Amino acid sequence: MFRRTQKNPKKSPPKKGGKKAAPRKKSSKLGMVIKTEFSPHLAWMYVYLRKAKQKMPNLILPNRIRSFRPTKGKIMRVLGNAYFSNRTVVIATHTQLTYMNRKGDLKVKKIVRLPKARILDTLAHEIAHFQYEDHGYEHEEFTRSIFKTFGLKEKCPYCKGTGKIELEGKP
Ligand SMILES: [Zn+2]
C-alpha cells in the first residue's frame, strides 16, 4: 500500500551490531532522497518533507506517514498522531462537520477534505514531536520552523501561519 521511495525496497536496513552501515552517499541537495514511506493519499507530501529536510538537516523524519479518514460513526479527537516506537505519523486527510442533536450528543453531519496547508500543519506538528516530545514553547517554535520550510504562499486558514492548531495529536 505504501509507496516506497527507496531505490531498492527489498534491501533490509543494516542490523544493529552487525555489519557497519555503508556510509551515506553524498548527494547534492537537489538530488536528496528521503526514505519516508507515504500512504498513497499523502504521497503529495513528499516534496514538502524533502524541503524541510533540506533546510533542516537535523530534522528527524518519520519512517512512515499513514493517512486517516474519519468516519461518520465516531467523533475524531485529533488530526494527527505520532508514534515513537516505529516512528510513524498518522495524519487526517479529512475532518468532520459536527452538530449537536436534541439529546445533546455530538454527531457528524459531513466528512470534508482538509486543505493541504492544514494537513501540512499537522505534519509539522507531529514530526516536531520526534524532537520535542511534549507540548510547550519549544515544540511550538519547532513546529513553526518546520511549517515555514514548506514555503507556502498562503497562510494556513486555521493557524494563520503560526503553526498552532486546536486539535492536536497525542502525545
Ligand atoms: Zn501534539
User: Could you state, in order of their start, the residue ranges of all structural domains in the chain?
Assistant: 37-149
Query: What is the Cα–Cα distance from 106 to 99, expressed in whole angstroms?
Result: 6
pLDDT of res. 153: 75
Q: How far is the CA of 81 from the centre of ligand 1 (A)?
A: 7
Q: How far is the CA of 168 from the centre of ligand 1 (A)?
A: 5
Give the pLDDT band (50/70/90) at residue 164: low
Give the number of other CB atoms < 10 A from CB of residue 106.
10
Q: How far is the CA of 22 from the centre of ligand 1 (A)?
A: 34
Bridge partners for 37 per DSSP: 64
Give the number of other CB atoms < 10 A from CB of residue 56.
15
Phi/psi of residue 96, nearest 5 degrees? -110, 135
Q: How far is the CA of 87 from the centre of ligand 1 (A)?
A: 14
Q: Domain 37-149: which topology?
A: Zincin-like (3.30.2010)
Q: How far is the CA of 128 from the centre of ligand 1 (A)?
A: 8
Query: What is the Cα–Cα distance from 37 to 19, expressed in whole angstroms?
Result: 24
Give the pLDDT band (50/70/90) at residue 58: very high
